Amino acid sequence: MEADFVIIGSGSAGSAMAYRLGEDGTTSVLVLEFGGSDIGPFIQMPAALSYPMNMARYDWGFQTEPEPHLGGRRLATPRGKVLGGSSSINGMVYVRGHARDFDHWAESGASGWSHADVLPYFKRMESWHGGHSALRGTSGPLHVTRGPRRNPLYHSFVEAGAQAGFELTYDYNGQKQEGFGAMEQTVWHGRRWSAANAYLRPAMRRGNVKVHRCLAERVVIEDGRAVGVEVSRDGAKEIIRARREVIVAASSINTPKILMLSGIGPGAHLAEHGIPLVADRPGVGANLQDHLELYIQQKSLQPITLYRYYNYPAMARIGMQWLLAKVGLGTSNQFESAAFVRSAPGVDYPDIQYHFLPLAVRYDGKSAVKGHGFQAHVGPMRSPSRGTVRLASADPAAAPRILFNYMSHEKDWADFRHCIRLTRELFAQPAFAPYSGDEIQPGAAVQSDDELDGFIREHVESAYHPCGTARIGAKDDPMAVVDPECRVIGVAGLRVADSSIFPRVTNGNLNAPSIMVGEKAADHILGRTPLAPLDGKPWINPRWRESDR
């Protein structure tokens, strides 16, 4: 079995690359995916999002090592083990990131990845249904929509932001990220619009893009060049050959694992596991980043929250509406209002993100209170904490060792204390007066810095945005893993293109920038001239030096 291009992983970036690499019909593309089918209501129905990320059928089931700054807690690290990868189990929230994020990438050595460079790829990938904007795409494979925001609490959240003195924004993915407004989602005609639905299925219909179910164990490297991938299936091993290139797009957890199993990584660590060294790249598995978040929850004085549907008869009705006609509450992820704000004067662009939900519930689907409530998910966007992904053994079937080293800086604690107090300020605004009851969590008694730190230590959770473990940079940067064209430094015929290459985590959820990486990497792989840069100068608050709002 062989193909011109062999892609490891069918996720956000992998599916986008498969679509673009096979677009002209002259090249053969083989996508290697360990997971199974994404067909079924648990994945395809947007409102069912809490199920697939908690199902072993669809999730790799990774956990962190005991996190030393969180009392030794092990945090879940879901990654998609299914067609479409994590785009098939995520929350479907669509956030490009701030323009300054990508300018920072370019300043860090990722030349050609500034905001002006990546903006045309964001436009190419989108079909935006929010109106007309020179900064948004209208004919791409990925449909981007907004929820109906029928529940009045969605509007109360935005109004509360304005009452507290913050900006409003019509389109946080356009020129002005800063502010309160509608949240965007990858949902189309009532279905999850994953990378599998947007990119991979259309690519497979052409006939020259195929998916092979197997476990990719290592990249086969001969005389310094990647020539294929060793895979296993049903106990049998085989080598799948790549006539042109191998591309690893297996997630920021599995990508560094595969590179290290292939002899690419920190030399001393590979020697510990008896793996012959091909390229000593200490940056493989380093620079691991994520977003953490808290749920600040409030009881509702009126029975208008989604809790009224939190019973089996109502959920059955919602499920039937969705199955029969793709209408009703099942067609939204329920994250329909959002905000991006700055934490302090002197911060020039947003560093706090909000998701608002008219229900008090956790990602695992368990209600935090038996009654009506609502919550804001809130967390800082640019934590200085960094972690690692390391091999647990040389066995390709073994899960890697993941340590994010969460909350390892005092700034992390100060930032989260500010997030809690700011959210309390928002919930105390007149817009919430008809609805806002007692605080569920942290609870009104939790006020001092020490008390807030205790709550944070016990309750902070991952927002599931891991990245950075094979970062892009200049060829002479000893910690860079890939060059600005996504080529693995020191190995010919091998590239990495997924969230692993991010030098620093972007503002917001990672599905959109991960797809953008796949789109842009495809042009580099094909040797095409990159799309012409576009001037998308961001709106920066004129009061940023003096005020946080």
For the chain, the domains span: 148-182+292-380+408-459
Ramachandran bin of 23, using left for φ above 0, alpha for ψ from -120 to 50, beta for the remaining angles: alpha
Residues 6+ apart with CB under 8 A from 98: 177, 340, 349, 350, 506, 507, 538
Mean pLDDT of 30-52: 96
CATH of 148-182+292-380+408-459, one of 3.40.50.1110, 3.30.410.40, 3.40.630.10, 3.30.300.130: 3.30.410.40
pLDDT of 129 over the 70 cut: yes
3-state DSSP call for residue 445?
coil
Mean pLDDT of 491-497: 98
- Partners of 324 in the beta sheet? none
pLDDT of 363 over the 70 cut: no
pLDDT of 362 over the 80 cut: no
Closest CA to 164 of 542, 438, 549, 544: 549
Closest CA to 265 of 286, 234, 245, 247: 286
Give 454-478 pLDDT, tens digit per residue: 999 999 999 999 999 999 999 999 9
Q: Are 11 and 24 in contact (CB under 8 A)?
A: no
Please identify which of the residues 291, 372, 377, 465 carries the catalytic annotation: 465
Percent of the chain with pLDDT over 70: 99
pLDDT of 240 over the 60 cut: yes
Give 400-444 pLDDT, tens digit per residue: 999 999 999 999 999 999 999 999 999 999 999 999 999 999 999
Mean pLDDT of 482-510: 98
Listed in order, strand segments (DSSP E) in 70-224 are 76-77, 126-128, 142-146, 179-182, 184-185, 187-188, 191-192, 209-213, 215-222
Q: Are 349 and 177 in contact (CB under 8 A)?
A: yes
> What's the confidence (pLDDT) of residue 370?
77
Give 315-329 pLDDT, tens digit per residue: 999 999 999 999 999
> What's the confidence (pLDDT) of residue 361?
84
Question: What's the CA dihedral at 269, 272, 275, 281 to 10 degrees?
Answer: 10
Closest CA to 361 of 42, 80, 41, 54: 54
> What's the confidence (pLDDT) of residue 368?
56
Q: Are 504 and 468 in contact (CB under 8 A)?
A: yes
Decide the pairing of beta strands 126-128 and 225-233: unpaired
pLDDT, greater one: 310 or 391: 391
- Where helices occur in 98-187 by DSSP H, the ranges are 99-107, 115-125, 152-163
C-alpha dist (Å) from residue 183 to 130, 221, 326, 404: 11, 44, 20, 28
pLDDT of 17 over the 90 cut: yes
Which tokens go with 206? 């052409």
Cα 268 from Cα 247, distance rounded (Å): 25
Residue 367 has φ and ψ, to the nearest 5°, of: -70, 135
CA atoms within 13 Å, Cβ hemisphere of 34: 21
Side chain identity at 403, as an amino acid letter? Answer: L
Lowest mean pLDDT among 4-8, 147-151, 309-313, 445-449: 309-313
pLDDT of 275 over the 90 cut: yes
| pLDDT range class, residue 142, cuts 50, 70, 90 | very high
- Where helices occur in 300-401 by DSSP H, the ranges are 312-325
CA 521 and chain centroid, separation: 18
Closest CA to 70 of 461, 468, 463: 461
Give 185-198 pLDDT, tens digit per residue: 999 999 999 999 99
> What's the confidence (pLDDT) of residue 310?
87
> What's the confidence (pLDDT) of residue 369?
66
Residue 46 has φ and ψ, to the nearest 5°, of: -55, -40
Q: Is 104 a catalytic residue?
A: no
Binding-site entries? 82, 90-93
3-state DSSP call for residue 192?
strand
| pLDDT range class, residue 339, cuts 50, 70, 90 | very high
> What's the confidence (pLDDT) of residue 364?
63
Percent of the chain with pLDDT over 90: 97
Binding-site entries for FAD? 82, 90-93
Mean pLDDT of 160-164: 98
Cα 230 from Cα 240, distance rounded (Å): 6
Mean pLDDT of the chain: 97
> What's the confidence (pLDDT) of residue 367?
55
pLDDT of 365 over the 70 cut: no
pTM (2 d.p.): 0.98
Mean pLDDT of 501-530: 98
> What's the confidence (pLDDT) of residue 366?
61
